[in-house]
Amino acid sequence: MSDKYSKRRLTSSSITTIVSLSLVLFMLGLLGITILNSRKLSDNVKENIGFQVILNDNVKDVDVARLTKTLDASDYVKSTEFITKEEAAARLQKDLGEDFIDFLGFNPLLSSINVHLKAEYANADSLAWIEKDMLDTKLVKEVIYQKSLVTMINENVKKISLVIIIFSALLMVIALALINNTIRLSIYSKRFIIKTMQLVGATEGFIRRPFVLNGIKHGIYGAVIAIAMLIGGLYFAQKQLPELQELQDPNMLATLFGLVIVLGIVISWISTSMAVRKYLRLKSDDLHF
């Protein structure tokens, strides 16, 4: 009867530890996905920032083609789109809802190249030297972009990133404390076994080893459950918002899942080692308190 009760308690303790680990690792994994997606989302927003290169009138097609190729080969350019005078007029007519060319008798618009920047170059400083570089080209008449919009987007991205980092740090501390306390409680129920083994001459390493291995096993189980929950959560979220699929990077997700497993193992290992060491150093009289 006593053996059955002890086994039931051990099983219950193991299940509680694994469930607690999986929930905390799930929270950390969810936070990781949020951070990764927020970074990608901010990059997408920044990469929609661009500028319009207005070309001089009567530029030769061969010169325009050369300039476009040069821009495409630049480190700071993500994509370019050449718009002829006729295309620009057609777009403006569509927006205005009337034919302004018939009214004016000529097309006042110029050919242009719409340039979208890579995220790391979508800031006021980079745009300033890119603008200067463009204006030095004889083909270019003017460079147009919204300076205030660029500044506002970058400032907001910085603020949001700071909030996410602070929240992440707090959540990490809380998560580690929860895991540590759960494992300490699990080891607490076995403190008499630890002390008995010590009294019969077992070395600290010998006593610690099975507990640490068991803790690592719990960490792996908890991580696998957390990953399954994360995959299920992502699948459900993508069903509700199909746009989220574009933000997902399989390689980054695989790396994140690997980190969840490593975290589960490392945290369980460290917490178990510390808890066992505490009871190894505790006097027999203090075990009842």
Residues 164 and 36 in one domain: yes
Residue 140 tokens, joined = 């270019």
Q: 79: domain CATH number?
A: 3.30.70.3040
Residues 276 and 157 placed together within one structural domain of the fold: yes
Q: What is the pLDDT of residue 5?
A: 46
Say whether both 97 and 183 belong to one domain: no
**Overall pTM surpassing 0.85 (yes/no):** no
Residues 140 and 248 in one domain: no
Cα 165 to chain centroid, rounded = 11
- Residue 8's pLDDT is 63
Q: What is the pLDDT of residue 228?
A: 92
CA dihedral sign, ordered 148, 153, 156, 162: negative
Domain tally for the chain? 2
Q: Quick check: helix, strand or coil at residue 190?
A: coil
pLDDT of residue 1: 42
Query: Both tokens of residue 240?
Result: 């509700």
**Residues 209, 69 share a domain:** no
The interaxial angle of helices 191-199 and 204-240, nearest 10 deg, is: 150
Give the Å distances, CA to CA, from 182 to 103, 158, 214, 218, 219: 78, 36, 14, 12, 12
Alpha helices per DSSP H over 243-289: 250-281
Among 118, 144, 170, residue at a domain's last position: 144
Based on the fold, state whether residues 284 and 157 are members of the same structural domain: yes
The pLDDT of residue 224: 92
Please give the chain's pLDDT, 289 residues, in tens. Answer: 444 544 565 566 677 778 877 888 888 888 788 777 777 777 777 777 778 888 888 778 788 888 888 888 888 888 888 888 778 778 777 777 777 666 666 667 778 888 888 888 888 788 888 888 888 888 888 888 877 777 777 777 778 777 877 877 777 777 677 766 767 766 766 767 777 776 777 777 777 788 788 888 888 888 899 899 988 888 887 777 776 666 677 888 888 899 889 988 888 888 788 777 776 666 655 555 5
Picking from 127, 144, 161, the residue at the C-terminal end of a domain is 144
For 56, the 3-state DSSP assignment is coil
Among 73, 47, 26, CA closest to 247: 47
By residue range, what is the domain housing residue 139? 50-144
Same domain, residue pair 157 and 273: yes
Same domain, yes or no: 173 and 272: yes
What pLDDT is recorded for position 50? 78
Name the one residue in this structure whose structure tokens are 């718009």: 83
The verdict on 38 and 161 lying in the same domain is yes
Short-list 115, 135, 133, CA closest to 69: 115
* Two structure tokens written together for 123: 């800031």
Q: Give the residue from 144, 166, 188 where a domain finishes.
A: 144
Residues 137 and 214 occupy one common structural domain: no
167's CB contacts (< 8 A; 6+ apart) are 31
Asked whether residue 133 falls in the same domain as residue 182, the answer is no
Q: Do 65 and 135 belong to one domain?
A: yes
- Adjacency order of strands within the sheet including 112-117: 77-83, 112-117, 50-55, 140-144
